[in-house]
């Protein structure tokens, strides 16, 4: 999602990170989920621009099978999941080996075990899809050697003072309590290679950073959801260089607010003398898997707002592939 700082949003962050965080931490998990849904519903009703942008991009992809009402419903669910993920962050510290299975189960864990037996490390490539941090936290609690590459730039000039000094710093402090190692983009990636060398697990997003930063200059244009989307080459480069097994990972929230983490079949890697070709082929493989899961649960993907020209879709002079007038059309008349 694209988060733009404002005075109103900064005030909301102060409430969220102080009294709200303390309350959610003390109350049952179900309350946290219901509160996340309520906050997301309130935003989608009061601040409709984001919901309309998401719905417009959904219609650009699924217009033949979705009505505007259905697209708006998925957009609302998408925003609600964004806030549910925030509420879960407040609650992760209460998880342990005794209660973990009440909240998350794994499908395909045997694939992870088999990959680790090769002894060259495992890259779990995932999207900004569902509650993406839950598998990370769970694997750490289960005793796996897990590291995550992430982006937490507290010096970004576009961020407000509250975002940098409250939102990001408290978030990083909470994340540092996980039984995992964090590797931040912009710093040395040596810890990532060391993690794979000791046969550890490295989690990394395969759909980029998102937000206002959009895609990097070296991103690869690949077919995705009937469009062309820009994907980071980093995960594939690392897998090709190290020989680590790459497994796609997805976290799907159930109706009762529990989660199922799905570990898919390993990505096939055929190394040739053409590095760029290899990286492109590896990336194209897991983007096809990504596409399958987005089609199954479109409300789970957090980058629908970025799925537009100039952000995750490369600009074209003809404008082909854009959502056109759909974004400006009044999707909801309430």
Q: Among candidates 148, 134, 142, which has minimal Cα distance to 85?
A: 134
- Using the predicted structure, report yes or no on whether residue 332 has a pLDDT greater than 70: no
pLDDT at 331: 40
Pairing of β 104-107 and β 146-150 = unpaired
Q: From residue 35, how far is each of 28, 85, 87, 127, 132 by CA, in Å?
A: 11, 11, 8, 24, 19
Whether 154 shows a pLDDT value over 90: the answer reads no
Cβ count near 171 (within 10 Å): 15
pLDDT higher than 80, residue 100: yes
pLDDT at 128 over 70: yes
Between CA 263 and CA 246 the distance in angstroms is: 10
Place of tokens 């969220």: 16
pLDDT at 187: 75
User: ∠244-113-299 over CA atoms, to 5°?
Assistant: 80
Tokens of 108: 């395909």
Give 95-99 contacts, CB < 8 A, sequence gap 24+.
95/137, 95/138, 95/141, 96/141, 97/141, 97/142
DSSP lists the bridge partners of residue 106 as 261
Q: Classify residue 252 by burial, with Cβ atoms within 10 Å: 0-12, 13-18, 19+.
A: middle
Among 23-32, 185-194, 314-323, the range with the most confident prediction by mean pLDDT is: 23-32
Rounded CA separation 126/247 (Å): 9
Residue-level pLDDT at 12? 87
Task: State the pLDDT confidence band at 7, using cuts at 50, 70 and 90.
Answer: confident
Closest CA to 234 of 288, 285, 181, 280: 280
pLDDT in tens, 288-312: 999 999 999 999 999 999 999 989 9
Given a cut of 60, whether residue 139 has pLDDT beyond it is yes
> Both tokens of residue 68?
């505007």
Residue showing tokens 């075990």: 113
- Residue ranges per structural domain of the chain: 7-326
CB-CB contact of 302 with 128 (8 Å): yes
Residue 317 has pLDDT above 80, yes or no: no
- The answer, yes or no, to whether residue 212 has pLDDT greater than 60, is no
What mean pLDDT is predicted for residues 70-98? 97
Q: What is the pLDDT of residue 319?
A: 38
* Higher local confidence (pLDDT), 176 or 244: 244
- In this prediction, residue 330 carries a pLDDT of 39
pLDDT-derived band at 5, boundaries 50, 70, 90: confident
pTM, 2 dp: 0.89
Contact yes or no for 85/299 (Cβ under 8 A): no
């Amino acid at each position: 999602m694209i988060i733009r700082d404002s005075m109103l949003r900064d005030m909301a962050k102060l409430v969220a990170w102080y009294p709200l965080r303390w309350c959610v931490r003390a109350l049952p998990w179900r309350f946290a989920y219901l509160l996340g849904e309520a906050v997301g519903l309130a935003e989608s009703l009061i601040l409709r621009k984001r919901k309309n942008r998401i719905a417009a991009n959904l219609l650009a992809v699924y217009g033949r099978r979705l009505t505007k009402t259905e697209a708006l419903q998925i957009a609302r669910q998408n925003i609600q999941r964004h806030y549910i993920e925030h509420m879960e962050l407040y609650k992760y510290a209460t998880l342990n080996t005794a209660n973990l299975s009440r909240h998350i189960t794994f499908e395909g864990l045997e694939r992870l075990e088999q990959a680790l037996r090769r002894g060259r490390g495992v890259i779990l490539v995932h999207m900004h899809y569902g509650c993406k941090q839950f598998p990370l936290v769970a694997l750490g609690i289960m005793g796996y050697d897990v590291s995550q590459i992430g982006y937490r730039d507290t010096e970004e000039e576009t961020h407000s003072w509250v975002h940098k000094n409250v939102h990001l710093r408290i978030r990083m402090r909470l994340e540092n309590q996980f039984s995992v190692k964090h590797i931040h983009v912009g710093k040395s990636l040596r810890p990532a290679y060391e993690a794979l060398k000791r046969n550890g697990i490295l989690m990394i997003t395969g759909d980029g950073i998102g937000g206002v930063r959009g895609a990097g200059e070296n991103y690869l244009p690949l077919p995705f959801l009937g469009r062309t989307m820009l994907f980071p080459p980093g995960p594939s480069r690392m897998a090709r260089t190290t020989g680590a097994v790459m497994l796609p990972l997805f976290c799907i929230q159930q109706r009762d607010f529990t989660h199922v983490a799905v570990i898919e079949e390993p990505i096939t890697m055929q190394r040739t003398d053409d590095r760029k070709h290899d990286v492109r082929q590896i990336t194209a493989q897991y983007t096809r898997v990504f596409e399958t899961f987005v089609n199954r649960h479109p409300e789970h993907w957090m980058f629908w707002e970025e799925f537009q020209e100039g952000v995750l879709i490369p600009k074209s002079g003809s404008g082909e592939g854009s959502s056109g007038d759909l974004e400006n059309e009044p999707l909801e008349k309430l």
